[in-house]
Structure 1
Amino acid sequence: MGTNNKYYWIKLNTNFFIQREVKSIRRTENGLLYIVIYLKLLLLSANTGGLLIFENTEDNLIEELSIEIDEEYEDVTNAIKILQKKNLININSNDEFFLNKAPDMVGSETAAAERMRRSRAKKKEIEKNVTMLQDVTNCYTDKDKEIDKDIKIDDDKAKYISEINNLIKNKISSSSLDNFINRFGVNKLDPLISEIKDSDYLKGNINFNNLSDDFIDKAISGKYKTYKNDDSSNDEDEVNIYAGVEPIRGYIK
């Protein structure tokens, strides 16, 4: 198994089964089955940040999902309908569903981080029973530092995914965030998120799967900042002349 492999999981809060939406689903006919299907879909979408995407292996996405989670087509269809009604799933299109609470429930860990975690656990167990030399117990190698760095990067990505998904309509997954970072660098994420917070235009139009360098530079520079009329100022330099511009073809959805 390669050192870059990652493991994903979902984290269930202790109040999961007493949430109003879950309790309401459970009281319906076949409610327990629909909750099981919901959990299976959460697990299935863990490595995509909540996205379920049609892969053209069957006639439609629901048929693919029913095969993947080993549940009847009709049951999956009914489960998705009730999950949509409870605002637990968003039907972006016939080819893409999004589990709204997944970003806050998904955790991940690189293979290297898992090995280090197990190694540290084993080391702590040994230290309970064996007195080790000071220069051994205090050893902190460059490899340890790199693994800790990987863990921090994973944590930062999870925070970015959660923050961006709270701002925009087009949902962002782990893969689309990785593509963005590889292309534009992580240093452009913070100013871009800052601009999205202040721009209704960006919230409704930015698509992380289809961006150009020109669009990113203009967004970060404030071109798409929401215009706010301020009667207290007559300084033309403070007026955003780009407010209310039409969508730029090829840059946004």
Structure 2
Amino acid sequence: MALKENKRYYWLQLKEEFFTSKEMKLLRRLPGGNEHTIIYLKIMLASLQDSGKIYFENLGHDLAEEISLLIDEDIEAVRMTLLFLTNKQLLTTKDKFEFQLEQVPELIGSETASTRRSRKYRELQKTLQCNTNATERNGEIDIEKEIDIELDVDDRKTTTDTNIQNYYQQRIGPLDGFQFQQLTEYVTSDGMEVDVVIRAITEAADNGKRNFKYILAILRNWKQNGIKTIVQVEDRERQRIEQKANSQQNGHNSQHQRTNVPIWSTEPVKTEQTTEGQAKLAELFAELEQMEKGED
């Protein structure tokens, strides 16, 4: 049930200049250019949930064969499209198994199932509003305001989700769709602030731990300790620093409490005498001798 409620829908948000860009003009001028353009758009759509990534799973002869099965297009047309995209650096790879469509991350649009339901409800209310009297309309306007508030919250959530994804990729590296879902569930399901997730990413990066499991371990620990806000994270860090300082101070004090002998008694005795001191000591000895003779 939770997965169904948190389901996210994705779409492409093409910029106004998308089809007038040099790359797209060149693609459309190829033989069968319109077909290649459609293939490119279908590949982008297939990659949305993974932020523009497509994978060669070694099931087909090559990536073109697997993509053609996925989008139901001619294999040779797909191969020609992939060749063009690779040549123009619109499709890149480091290991020949994971590929990145470079334009996709900035073209992704998304919304949660909750946002979609709210938007459709608002559209329905606007339709019904046309058929009501003035009094009923005033009531419906209030309802619409409440729905707008809910939509604004979901829109902010979409923005913060993007912040998590962008920040992770900036500090750690590539983030696939499943990893992205795991991070955002700490916000959507566990009620953590987005800044808490970002702080976990920061701690991992600052400690040289560019490992997704390390970040999950931090978040899991905070969740178990009931930490959900950035204020709680900072309070915990302050307490840790204070405890460490107190521990060091107590250890220093305990070293002096192990014995009752004063510290000065353990210091080495200075046996050296200055010339002036030796002369004074000789005078005292001489006086002592005179006193002893007098007594005799």
Q: 1:24 to 1:143 in 2, by over 3 A?
A: closer
Task: Give distance in 2, aligned partners of 1:143 and 1:12.
Answer: 27
Distance in 2 between residues matched to 1:142 and 1:17, nearest whole Å: 39
Q: State which of 90, 104, 107 in structure 2 corresponds to 1:105.
A: 107
> Which residue of structure 2 lines up, in the alignment, with residue 124 of structure 1?
126
- 1:229: which partner in 2? none
Equivalent position amino acid for 1:49 in 2: S
What TM-score results when the alignment is normalised by the length of structure 1?
0.66
- Whose Rg is larger? 2
Change (3 A) 1:105 1:115: same
User: Partners of 1:7 and 1:137 in 2: how far apart?
Assistant: 28
Distance 1:142 1:123 in 2: 12
Q: Would the aligned equivalents of 2:51 and 2:104 in 1 still touch at CA under 8 Å? A: yes
Question: Which runs of structure 2 are paired with 1:209-220 in the superposition (5 Å)?
Answer: 211=215, 213=217
Q: Distance in 2 between matches of 1:143 and 1:5?
A: 19
Deviations 1:69-106 (A, max 9, x none): 11222322222121122121112322211111111111
Q: Render the CA deviation track for 1:215-235: whole Å, top value 9, x for unaligned.
A: xx9xxxxxxxxxxxxxxxxxx
Q: Which residue, 71, 74, 80 being the options, matches 1:72?
A: 74
User: Is 1:187–2:195 an aligned residue pair?
Assistant: yes
- Structure 1 position 10, deviation (Å): 0.5
Distance 1:96 1:26, change over 3 A: same
Q: Work out whether residues 50 and 99 of structure 1, in 8 Å CA contact, stay in contact via their aligned partners in 2.
A: yes
- Separation of aligned partners in 2, 1:158 and 1:50: 14
Contact 2:129 2:140 (C-alpha < 8 Å) held by counterparts: no
Amino acid at match of 1:176: Q
Gaps of 5+ in 2: 222-296
Kept after mapping to 2: 8 A contact 1:60/1:95: no
Q: TM-score, normalised by structure 2?
A: 0.58
Please, what is the CA RMSD of the aligned residues? 3.9
Looking at structure 1, the residues matched to 213 and 84 of structure 2 have their Cα atoms a distance apart, in angstroms, of 29
Moved more, 33-42 or 205-214: 205-214
Q: Which residue of 2 aligns with 1:11?
A: 13
Identify the match of residue 174 of structure 2 among 168, 171, 193: 171
Alpha carbons of structure 1 residues 55 and 183: separation in structure 2 relative to 1, 3 Å: farther
- Corresponding letter in the other structure for 2:178: S
The verdict on how the C-alpha distance between 1:193 and 1:129 changes in structure 2, with shifts beyond 3 A counting, is same
Equivalent of 1:138 in 116, 121, 142: 142
Cα deviation for residue 212 of structure 1 reads: 5.8
> Partners in 2 of 1:72 and 1:190 — Cα distance?
43
Equivalent AA in structure 2 for residue 138 of structure 1: D
- How do 1:12-161 residues align onto structure 2 when only pairs under 5 Å count? 12-55=14-57, 57-130=59-132, 131-133=134-136, 134=138, 137-139=141-143, 149-161=153-165
| Matched AA of 1:68 | L
Structure 1 residue 116 displacement after superposition:
1.1
Could you tell which deviates more after superposition, 72-81 or 98-107?
A: 72-81
The structure, 1 or 2, with the larger RCO (C-alpha pairs under 8 Å, 6+ apart) is 1
| Cα distance change of structure 1 residues 61 and 71 upon mapping to structure 2, 3 Å threshold | same
For residues 19 and 163 of structure 1, what CA distance do their matches in structure 2 show? 28
